[in-house]
Amino acid sequence: MEVIINPTPEAASQLAARKIAALVRANPGSVLGLATGGSPVAVYRELIRMHQQEGLDFSRVTTFNLDEYLGLGPAHPASYFNFMWTNLFQHINVRPERVHLPDGLAENVPASCLAYENAIREAGGIDLQLLGIGSDGHIAFNEPASSLSSRTRIKTLTERTRSDNASFFGEGEEVPHHVITMGVGTIMEAREVVLLGFGKGKADAMAAAIEGPVTQMVPASALQFHERACFLLDEASSSKLQRGEYYRHVFANKPAWQRV
Ligand code: GLP
């Protein structure tokens, strides 16, 4: 597990964007796992800049998003479908038929979840999965007490997550109770994982995920078992880590060939 404490969220986002760009340049047919929420927005902004100014080509890239609200269609302003098109897809040359999100309007939810898992498998699996982290340690919408082997399925949100995400909804509008989310087991199969978490509201979750015991009570802690997981923090989100100095020392002394 790599833990990188960045001076600012912007610096962390640049690093994440450079990792994604390096992957896409090396393998133009990469399969990217993408996330929503506030944390990845600056990463997407930088990828858009790289596309527009440096010709970063997404025409052969396939994407799979982590999750979607049940009951929200693509046209709903708070749907993750809309979030992704607004914040990334409409600004780059990704092919719409290569973009995948769970279907928030699925009539047969279990069948739709199974189809999503199959589509990931048929695409050859996810090369790099971008993740945020909930203030309670959730990844995607895998709330505490999610099975660490779980697959794409329906989940019920906690009130804390509903209130954390309320700012993405209009005033007086209900945050849905149900979602479709990739499971922890699905995420663990990505070949590389990059998790972003910034601000002091994420400090407890980051400390628990990185240095606490592996437990379903902190779904992000499962990443301790991932072969290639990178946690990108800022000063504030790293404030509760016990070994912060060591992580800084490791990063400052990285061999040149390991730098992105
Ligand atoms: C939601 C999303 C997660 C995201 C989390 C944190 O719960 N489903 O994928 O990581 O919010 O979001 P933010 O980055 O806005 O703090």
- Could you tell me the sign of the dihedral formed by the alpha carbons of 250, 254, 258, 260, in that order? positive
- Confidence band for 259, pLDDT divided at 50, 70 and 90: confident
Q: Ligand 1 pocket, 142 CB below 6 A?
A: no
Residues in contact with 190: Cβ distance below 8 Å, sequence separation at least 6, in sequence order: 33, 125, 126, 127, 128, 129
Cα-to-centroid distance, 254 and ligand 1 (Å): 30
Six-digit token string for 246: 């060591």
pLDDT given at position 258: 86
How far is Cα 60 from Cα 27, in angstroms, rounded to an integer? 9
| Residue 238 confidence (pLDDT) above 90 | yes
Q: Ligand 1 pocket, 205 CB below 6 A?
A: no
Six-digit token string for 108: 């047969």
CATH topology of domain 2-258: Rossmann fold (3.40.50)
How far is Cα 14 from Cα 25, in angstroms, rounded to an integer? 16
Phi then psi for residue 7, to 5 deg, are -65, -35
- Confidence band for 172, pLDDT divided at 50, 70 and 90: confident
| pTM, two decimal places | 0.96
DSSP state of 176: P
**Domain ranges (residues) in the chain:** 2-258
Average pLDDT over residues 121-147: 97
- Positions annotated as catalytic residues are 67, 136, 138, 143
Q: Ligand 1 pocket, 35 CB below 6 A?
A: yes
Q: What's the pLDDT tens digit per position in 1-53?
A: 999 999 999 999 999 999 999 999 999 999 999 999 999 999 999 999 999 99
Average pLDDT over residues 177-191: 98
